[in-house]
Structure 1
């Protein structure tokens, strides 16, 4: 289970404030997961994912400055943590198809963001993109008996942002 790793000494009070609901939902989701309340955990992680995705989308379209880069540096891991926690929850619920969906979706989101015009943003994204890549490879190894999931993962790993089809 991934834990939030927001730095309390963030120089960006606006980003910390914007990510505060994300962190609350992740922590509540972790508590629910640990108690075995998987539906509650799923709902909390879904809310956290939605919040992180929205913030990352907004910042990735903003005019680049150091504050925007710092915000993206915080939003990328927030999105990855939420997606990986959702995948873990779905695995615990024996819903491998849904777990795979969340892992693929976050990887595709980051694959798209790697095309950002700012080199610094691309560098930040590549770090997290590598993590999602490794998570997909590990998922494939654990679920090699499901060829349809392996096909979905292979499609995701070969995805490039100029493709029009995305997995949902």
Structure 2
């Protein structure tokens, strides 16, 4: 987990300095590490949080690059994986429970994103399949009032 944290810290530093190409490379490395740690790290909440943060950092980066479609893809990928993990019988129960707990945040972040940037094909497919009332929730005024910062910066 320390390697993931160092990689993420380096990426955040580059992001803040406006070195977005280099930041993206570090964020992608952090995502790869988080994917490996997801089922292997002893602290399931830390593992799931690292996975979510890695995706959300990339979503933030793509927003900075004015690429909301790619941001939507990363936000959806995180949420979809957590929903799948929460239902996978082969995963340990504590990991499934952590995935379900963290999916509440990924869901909220998706709704906030949609309120600000609108629907994209992947958000529409994911949320309409899992929650038909999503379009009503996304139009609530308090969802749009939050600043968009999905990662940890």
Note whether the superposition's TM-score is higher than 0.5: yes
Post-superposition Cα deviations, 1:86-111, rounded to whole Å, max 9, x if no partner, equal 00000000011111111111111111
Aligned with residue 109 of structure 1, among 59, 68, 81:
81
Which residue pairs with 2:95 in the alignment?
Answer: 121
- Please show how residues 128-167 of structure 1 align to structure 2 within 5 Å: 128-144=102-118, 147=119, 149=120, 151-159=121-129
Offset at residue 158 of structure 1 (A)? 4.4
RMSD: 1.7
TM-score, normalization: structure 2? 0.76
Looking at structure 1, the residues matched to 53 and 16 of structure 2 have their Cα atoms a distance apart, in angstroms, of 16
Q: Please list every run of 5 or more consecutive structure 1 residues that lacks an aligned counterpart in the other structure.
A: 1-18, 60-67, 161-168
Tell me the matched-pair count: 128
TM-score, normalization: structure 1? 0.70
Q: Please list every run of 5 or more consecutive structure 2 residues that lacks an aligned counterpart in the other structure.
A: 131-153
Post-superposition Cα deviations, 1:93-148, rounded to whole Å, max 9, x if no partner, equal 0011111111111111111101133443332111111111011111101112xx5x
Looking at structure 1, the residues matched to 112 and 83 of structure 2 have their Cα atoms a distance apart, in angstroms, of 18
Which residue pairs with 1:13 in the alignment?
Answer: none
Question: Do the aligned residues in 2 keep the contact of 1:108 with 1:159 (CA within 8 Å)?
Answer: no
- Please show how residues 1-168 of structure 1 align to structure 2 within 5 Å: 19-56=1-38, 58-59=39-40, 70-117=42-89, 118-144=92-118, 147=119, 149=120, 151-159=121-129
Highest RCO, 1 vs 2 (Cα 8 Å, sep ≥ 6):
2
Looking at structure 1, the residues matched to 128 and 25 of structure 2 have their Cα atoms a distance apart, in angstroms, of 30
